[in-house]
Structures are given as C-alpha cells and as structure tokens.
Amino acid sequence: MNRLLRKPRVAFQGERGAFSEEAALTLLGPEIELVPRKTFADLFKSLEKQLADYLLAPVENTIAGVVQPSVELLRSSSLSVLDEVEIKIEQHLIGCPGASFETIETVHSHPVALAQCSRFFANNPQLKPIVADDTAGSVAEVVRLRDPKRAAIAGRRAAELYGATVIRQSIQDQTENYTRFVLLSASRERNESFGVQALACLQEQQPKG
C-alpha cells in the first residue's frame, strides 16, 4: 500500500478496549490504525520491528504514581516525545454474563489498575487480586472462560466490546483518577513544543523502591 495513503499505525500496550486505546483515539482521532501489543517490552519494540509508526505509552497515574515499567523503557530508548494526552480513568468490576458480586472469588487486571483499587480490595477481603498483562485482555479472558467466580477490572469500553457485565462501577480509590500518556516516535516529526510537560515529568520523577 502506498505509504502516503496508509493510516498512521499507532501501537499501544494491551488488548482492544484498553485505556491506552482510548487515549490514542482521544489524542489522534479515529483515522488511525491501532496496533495492540501484549506487554510494554513488545510495545517499545514496535517501531524497531516496523509494526507501527508511533507508540502511545502511559507514564503517570494520579493514584498509582509513575508507571514504572513503561517509564524505564522510555528512559532507556532514543524515542522522541511528540505529544501527550491525559484521560480520566474509571475502573469497573466486570464479570461474564450471569455473574454476580456474590459469586466472584478472583479479580484479574493490570497491576496499575489493581493498585488504583486498593481500598476496594481492603473492603472486600474475600476477593483475591490477580496480576495480568492488561485490563481489557482480562475482560476478554473472563468472557471466554465464562467462569462466574472470575472477574476483571477495566473500563466500560472493554465491557461493551467483549459483551461482559459491569458488576460494580467506579471502584477506583479516587474519583479524580487520571493517566497521562505520551506519543512517541523514532524521529521528531511534530511541533517541538509538544510533550514539554511530559518530558519535565519524566526528568523529575525518580524510580520508586
């Protein structure tokens, strides 16, 4: 296909329906080709492997803080920050059709999403949090297995996309929950004022632990 006619390919970490996908569409609009990547390591290899023209990576959340795996890969790369976007994150407890709160025993999601809902788990000690690669991917797995004992934490977009049921809404610790994402490229192709705030954040934040 002629490169001039091809939609820009934007890679993001997670499955379709992930918050990163929502952030990409918010920043760039629908005229892009979305490229889901399973892990952050896969995401940051997307340009090198010519699977995408840009990638969108989360760097900071208002509850969980720095998204350390993503930021560490960004710091060790030579990629340029072109732009940034911040979206509101609402985490929901999601089960397969027919599941109820009383049937759930395990809750699967990305570690950052689980961290954003620590108060929910403290108030419901019968629920065991299980770390997974992705929020939306956890929903897809819940629907595939159709196990009423298993639930996921993700956004409403993922529930709608995979035909799952929202069992509890907005279970994150704070209502004002936002994640900042940066748009990255192998070369600086956009206005150089883009991404200034994100770059300052990356320079100021120090790794935890």
Determine what percent of the chain is predicted with pLDDT higher than 70.
87
- Give me the catalytic one of 40, 175, 179, 194: 179
pLDDT of residue 58: 96
Q: 129: domain range?
A: 92-168
pLDDT of residue 64: 86
Q: Are residues 42 and 63 in the same domain?
A: yes
| Total structural domains within the chain | 2
Whether residue 209 lies inside any domain: the answer is no
Q: Could you confirm whether 40 is annotated as catalytic?
A: no
Positions of the chain with pLDDT lower than 50, given as ranges: 1-2, 191-209
- Give me the catalytic one of 19, 120, 181, 194: 181
pLDDT of residue 188: 67
pLDDT of residue 159: 97
Q: Could you confirm whether 181 is annotated as catalytic?
A: yes
pLDDT of residue 196: 42
Query: What would the pLDDT profile of 145-156 be if each residue is shown by its tens digit?
Result: 999 999 999 999
Whole-number Å distance between alpha carbons of 176 and 180: 13
Q: Are residues 96 and 35 in the same domain?
A: no
Whether residue 3 lies inside any domain: the answer is no
φ/ψ (deg, to 5) at 104: -75, 135
pLDDT of residue 5: 64
Contact between residue 55 and residue 184 where contact means Cβ atoms under 8 Å apart: yes
Whether residue 43 lies inside any domain: the answer is yes
